[in-house]
Structure 1
Amino acid sequence: MKETLIDAPVERFVQLNKYRVHYWEGGAGHPVILLHGGGPGATGMTNYSPNIEPLARHFRVFALDMPGWGDSDTLEEEADHPGRQLADVMVQFLDALGIDKAAFVGNSLGGLTSITTATLYPDRVSHLITMGAPAPFPLTLSPAGPSEGIKVLAAAQRDPSPANMKRLVQAMVYDSSHATDELAEARSRASLDKPEHLARWNEPRSTKNLGSPLPYWALGPQIRDIAVPALIIHGRDDRVVPYENALHLVSNIPDSRMLLLNRCGHWAQIEHAEEFNLAVTAFLTERC
């Protein structure tokens, strides 16, 4: 795999139909969209800080703050689950930058958004890569009800104090050395600096949607029609989204394979950054 020397990623904004979106861009080549998870204080840079530059040595990489997070505009309330609204935003983003199709890499809610985009807009997605993504199928092997991580996330959403954020980042990883005080404080500041984002997600209707995104579940039969190559990555020790979800995804997406990482929580791209970067680079290089 040939690497190219790159400059540091550049910070940019783009105005879409409804939202001004903040993102980081670096590298050249096939476009790769990195979508973060849905926790409070999440951003494209914090969720992918060890991945952007290594991937940008091979591809044209975009790490977005999705509407509702970071320095992008606040997501508006709509009837459908935000995954559908965010999929529409992804298509607008590609149109604004003149990109025909791109590889989508998504963690958690970003994975849900990537799956939704590949299902509803198959001509805009070249590859699908997910980490810790929920599958739109009922679980049979995992405990019922909200997971430990979802409960901690909901508490941090209501009160993004450094203490709650510390509990949140601890729930996201297997190795507690990744759950630093600095990361917890940074996510707390990012949340408190954008009270409009918090207010949007703390509305009763939105809180219900966050815990039980039923419209996404209706996509179950349709994901069997996803024709692009898919790499399903999941942590064996994920306390937010059980790895049973990955089994459903790899069983239903025809051209898919699964990478299950032991001693890994919800943030595979952070806890196992080197292996993640190598796996994604090899997958995209071989299938481009």
Structure 2
Amino acid sequence: MALQQNDISRYVQTTDFKIHYNEAGEGHPVVLLHGGGPGATGWSNYSPNIEALSKHFRVIAPDMPGWGDSDAVDFATLDHVEAACQLLDALGIEKAAFVGNSMGGHTSLRLAAERPERVSHLITMGAPLRMKPILFGAGGGPTEGLKIMYDTFTDATPEGMRRLVEIMVYDKARFATPELCKLRSQAALKRPEHLRNIASAAPKAPIPIWIDLDKISDITAPALLIHGRDDRVVSFESTLFLAAGIPDSRVHLINRCGHWAQLEHADEFNRQVIDFVTHH
């Protein structure tokens, strides 16, 4: 029987936040950090991955503060890295492998650079960097995908979510299904205060604090940098920049893949993560 979210749903109180998270498996802790789009949660971003990874590791997939069933936050003061460290402390975890998609990938990068004692392995998928033209399109404006993402914070209807999902993936016919769009819409509209908080703080939200690009070369954790060749949210060149700067890094670039490598190529992603964390 496939793993069900109700079976692994948990809550924990940290110093500053009540955080909802999903937990399964035993062994070395692997924390899966979701992206920053409306309707993003630990489960919605990683439902095809949690069960496979939990056969090898202790998998933790939180809803970060400001998303899902976790506390609402003020994006003027939110520090994703501090929130992640508070989660580790509350769960009694000293060091973990961090796997991050998009915003979660950026948080993982900052953790590896600023709190290296908490990160055993660094794995990113489509991690954004605040540099031109990597995150920004022609004329210095946001990329096509980021424009649609921000629009969806004020239109999280199933139709608005369809436009978002279609820009996030390469294979629209397979992944931008009415069922997925409806589920993500329901997840987003369940907590309208999250949508309002991000929309009102944009463009500072959903990432209020950006990594200092000069610190990328200081990252000592082994890094696996995954990116979709067809990503229209964050250009794959950002991952090439990271690979040039992180000493112990390798790149896995996937053709016919958008911003959600862990969903579009779930089996390949799971194999890569299991092998990397097991053997590095």
TM > 0.5: yes
Give the whole-Å Cα distance in 2 for the aligned partners of 1:240 and 1:140: 10
C-alpha contact 1:48 1:270 (8 A) present in aligned 2: yes
Match of residue 266, structure 1, among 259, 270, 278: 259
C-alpha contact 2:35 2:101 (8 A) present in aligned 1: yes
Give the whole-Å Cα distance in 2 for the aligned partners of 1:64 and 1:39: 15
Moved more, 70-79 or 248-257: 70-79
Taking structure 1 as reference, are residues 141 and 273 closer, same or farther at Cα in structure 2, changes over 3 Å only? closer
Give the whole-Å Cα distance in 2 for the aligned partners of 1:170 and 1:241: 15
Give the whole-Å Cα distance in 1 for the aligned partners of 2:209 and 2:14: 24
Q: Could you report, residue by residue, the CA deviation over 1:133-192 in whole angstroms, capped at 9, with x for unpaired residues?
A: 113544379743211111111111111111110010011000011111111111111111
The aligned amino acid for 2:162 is: K
Give the whole-Å Cα distance in 2 for the aligned partners of 1:278 and 1:236: 19
C-alpha contact 1:69 1:197 (8 A) present in aligned 2: yes
Q: Percent identity?
A: 53
> If the length of structure 1 is used for normalisation, what is the TM-score?
0.91
Matched residue SS, 1:258 = strand
Matched residue SS, 1:129 = strand
**1:116 aligns to 2:110 (yes or no):** yes
C-alpha contact 1:142 1:244 (8 A) present in aligned 2: no
1:74 corresponds to which residue?
72
> If the length of structure 2 is used for normalisation, what is the TM-score?
0.93
Taking structure 1 as reference, are residues 51 and 140 closer, same or farther at Cα in structure 2, changes over 3 Å only? closer
The aligned amino acid for 2:195 is: L
The aligned amino acid for 1:224 is: S
1:209 corresponds to which residue?
204
Q: How many residues align?
A: 275
1:243 corresponds to which residue?
236
Matched residue SS, 1:134 = coil
C-alpha contact 2:153 2:196 (8 A) present in aligned 1: no
Matches within 5 A, 1:33-44: 33-44=31-42
Taking structure 1 as reference, are residues 49 and 229 closer, same or farther at Cα in structure 2, changes over 3 Å only? same
**1:192 aligns to 2:189 (yes or no):** yes
| RMSD of aligned Cα (Å) | 1.9
Match of residue 219, structure 2, among 217, 223, 226: 226
Cα deviation for residue 91 of structure 1 reads 0.7
Give the whole-Å Cα distance in 2 for the aligned partners of 1:266 and 1:131: 7
Give the whole-Å Cα distance in 1 for the aligned partners of 2:106 and 2:47: 21
Cα deviation for residue 69 of structure 1 reads 0.7
Matched residue SS, 1:158 = coil
Give the whole-Å Cα distance in 1 for the aligned partners of 2:132 and 2:259: 20
Give 5+ residue unaligned stretches, structure 2: none
Cα deviation for residue 210 of structure 1 reads 3.4
1:88 corresponds to which residue?
82
2:94 corresponds to which residue?
100
Taking structure 1 as reference, are residues 143 and 279 closer, same or farther at Cα in structure 2, changes over 3 Å only? same
Give the whole-Å Cα distance in 2 for the aligned partners of 1:76 and 1:119: 24
2:27 corresponds to which residue?
29
**1:150 aligns to 2:146 (yes or no):** yes
Taking structure 1 as reference, are residues 120 and 43 closer, same or farther at Cα in structure 2, changes over 3 Å only? same
**1:14 aligns to 2:12 (yes or no):** yes
The aligned amino acid for 1:110 is: G
Matched residue SS, 2:16 = coil
Q: Could you report, residue by residue, the CA deviation over 1:5-53 in whole angstroms, capped at 9, with x for unpaired residues?
A: 9976521000011210000100001000000000001110010010000
Give 5+ residue unaligned stretches, structure 1: none
**1:128 aligns to 2:125 (yes or no):** no
